[in-house]
Amino acid sequence: MSVTDDEILPAVIAALEEATQHKVPVTPATVLRQDLNLDSLAEMDLIMALEDRFDVSISINHLPEIDTVAELAAMIAKMKKG
Amino acid sequence: MALFDKFAPLLKHYADVNAAGHNPFKVNIEQVLSPTEAMVNGRETLLVGTNNYLGLTFEPECIEAAIDALRREGTGTTGSRVANGSYEQHRRLEEELADFFGRKSAMVFSTGHHANLGLLSTLAGPHDHLVIDADSHASIYDGCKLSSAQVTRFKHNNPADLDKRLGRLASLPGEKIVVLEGIYSMLGDRAPLKEMVAICKRHGAYVVVDEAHSLGVLGRHGRGLCEEAEVEDQVDFIVGTFSKSLGAVGGFIVSNHPEFDVLRVACRTYKFTASLPPSVMASVRAALGVMRKKPELRLRLKANSKLLYDGMVALGFQVGPEVSPVVAVHLPNLEMGVRFWNMLLESGVYVNLAPPQATPNGVTLLRCSVCAAHTKEQLVRILDVFQAIGTELGLLQAPARRVAAQ
């Protein structure tokens, strides 16, 4: 599926809300591990789903560098540009 | 935040588990009596959670070889092979492993964990890609973490998903290294290896197969799933351990790669750890010999696995997807798992409790590992105990009602 940069952030937020069953409000400033209470396995599964959503590869070794939803969206945008 | 505050959730988890009686993660084996029996809490207990697949821990030939090596070469090597040199046992064990697997080279490590950690972190450089099954063992995840490589997970045992993810990586620079396991340790299921290896080769990827739980278990000669699936010539590196079928401790890698030997000076878990003691290597060499001489052990293990697996299914328990020496009984939640596990121990049966954090899809498992040395009577007793507890906890229909229902 083709996605523009502007669409990435809302799509990441929607995917996170779905993954957390809409229990927590998700904003660009939401901190993944702390605010969404994701353990490492849940976080890796979420990355796998986002890889499929945006047709990119996101190395799990980059996860420690990502704190917020905005940073995650920025990383996906960067990956999409290759 | 104080240094140890970060462990509060972990401590709470262990406290919860502890509350039900015995702690499943701190079992004290007072005395091991045989490959299948030990004294636990003053009670003779049947061991069904030790990964001692061929039951070689008390094999007289292995014990004698270890004693002889102990007398001749001492208690330990007191350092790494790079610093302290290689003993005769190191060289001969590596020659014998290479011969067993029909490979040019073998390299021995102090544990299986070290073998995976060393291979993956050394082989994959910053621009290379490690592609791993989502249900990989912790040592594979740790090897990835220690590497500087890009790491991609694919859905467990899903060839189409592996194909898709390798396809996405195709345009990126760097080598692709796919890591698979023969038998996955929690559910006892095996990788669809033939199909997956074909996909890897189509994408030009290297293949690593960890045969930790399948060595001595699968294949006509016990070489594991690669032998059984007839893909040995296409698998670049086989990793394994001496701590399961071979009844000791240690790890290894075998390969035909012409430059494999450079890992001896590049691999940090090889260079900076004390090497295996001579007595351990002597017992492993003897165990390798016993495994080659006695294919009946593997056949007995297969029959025992089928008996326990089929028995659990007949009782009405949900188990893993296929017959394997790992028989994983599913329980509805951790609380029930802890209760069931405690009642098993009180009844003299020891299995592994696998909590949701350690299992695929967060299920609670009573993980049984079958041994070639289990007698039919022991296996029937295990089933009887499972049935009695399952019925008492309301997880199984009471036998009378089952008869009535038929």
Rounded percentage of chain A residues whose pLDDT exceeds 70: 93
Q: Are B151 and A60 a contacting pair at CB < 8 A? A: yes
Sorting pLDDT into bands at 50, 70 and 90, what band is B103?
very high
Q: Which residues of A touch B357 (CB under 8 A)?
A: 39, 41
Q: Is A64 on the interface with B (CB under 8 A)?
A: no
CA distances from B367 to B31, B59, B243 (A): 22, 25, 17
Q: Are B149 and A60 a contacting pair at CB < 8 A? A: no
Sorting pLDDT into bands at 50, 70 and 90, what band is A51?
very high
Shortest alpha-carbon distance between residue A82 and chain B (Å): 9
Shortest alpha-carbon distance between residue B145 and chain A (Å): 6
A&B contacts, CB < 8 Å? 38
Which among B13, B130, B153, B169 is the top mutation candidate for probing chain A, defined by the most A β-carbons within 10 Å of its own β-carbon? B153
Decide which of B81 and A38 is more confident.
Answer: B81
**In whole angstroms, what is the distance from residue B288 CA to residue B94 CA?**
12
Q: Is A2 on the interface with B (CB under 8 A)?
A: no
Shortest alpha-carbon distance between residue B153 and chain A (Å): 7
Residue-level pLDDT at A38 = 82
Q: Is A21 on the interface with B (CB under 8 A)?
A: no
Asked if residue A63 lies in contact with residue A43, where contact means CB atoms within 8 angstroms, the answer is yes
Q: Are A57 and B149 a contacting pair at CB < 8 A? A: no
Residues B381-404 have pLDDT tens digits of 999 999 999 999 999 986 654 444
Residue-level pLDDT at B20 = 76
Extract the tokens encoding B51.
């990964």
Q: Are A59 and B168 a contacting pair at CB < 8 A? A: no
Point out the least confidently predicted range of A72-76, B188-192, B275-279, B317-321: A72-76
Extract the tokens encoding A19.
């993954």
Asked if residue B319 lies in contact with residue B309, where contact means CB atoms within 8 angstroms, the answer is yes
Domain boundaries, chain A: 5-81
Q: Residues B175-202: what's their mean pLDDT?
A: 97
Fold adopted by A5-81: 1.10.1200
Domains of chain B: 15-47+295-392 (3.90.1150.10), 58-293 (3.40.640.10)
* Facing A61 at nearest CB: one of B134, B150, B171: B150
Question: DSSP secondary structure string, B280-331?
Answer: HHHHHHHHHHHHHH-HHHHHHHHHHHHHHHHHHHHHT----SS--SEEEEEE
pLDDT surpasses 90 at B376: yes
Residues B316-359 have pLDDT tens digits of 999 999 999 999 999 999 999 999 999 999 999 999 999 988 88
Residue-level pLDDT at B399 = 63
Residues B234-273 have pLDDT tens digits of 999 999 999 999 999 999 999 999 999 999 999 999 999 9
Shortest alpha-carbon distance between residue B146 and chain A (Å): 9
Which among B127, B135, B152 is the top mutation candidate for probing chain A, defined by the most A β-carbons within 10 Å of its own β-carbon? B152
* Facing A61 at nearest CB: one of B134, B145, B165: B145
Sorting pLDDT into bands at 50, 70 and 90, what band is B280?
very high
Residue-level pLDDT at B62 = 98
CA distances from B256 to B58, B103, B113, B265 (A): 33, 5, 22, 18
Shortest alpha-carbon distance between residue B201 and chain A (Å): 20
pLDDT surpasses 70 at A75: yes
Q: Are B150 and A57 a contacting pair at CB < 8 A? A: yes
Residue-level pLDDT at B305 = 98
Q: Which helix (H) or strand (E) holds B81?
A: helix B81-84
* Facing A60 at nearest CB: one of B153, B172, B362: B153
* Facing B168 at nearest CB: one of A39, A57, A61: A57
Residue-level pLDDT at B401 = 47
Which of B373-377's residues contact partners 24+ apart within 8 Å by CB, and which partners? B373/B34, B373/B35, B373/B36, B373/B52, B373/B54, B373/B55, B374/B36, B374/B48, B374/B55, B374/B304, B375/B36, B376/B307
Residue-level pLDDT at A4 = 65
pLDDT surpasses 80 at B283: yes
Q: Is A17 on the interface with B (CB under 8 A)?
A: no
Sorting pLDDT into bands at 50, 70 and 90, what band is B24?
confident
Residues B124-174 have pLDDT tens digits of 999 999 999 999 999 999 999 999 999 999 999 999 999 999 999 999 999
Rounded percentage of chain B residues whose pLDDT exceeds 90: 91
CB atoms within 10 A of CB B357: 12
Closest chain B residue to A39, measured at CA: B357
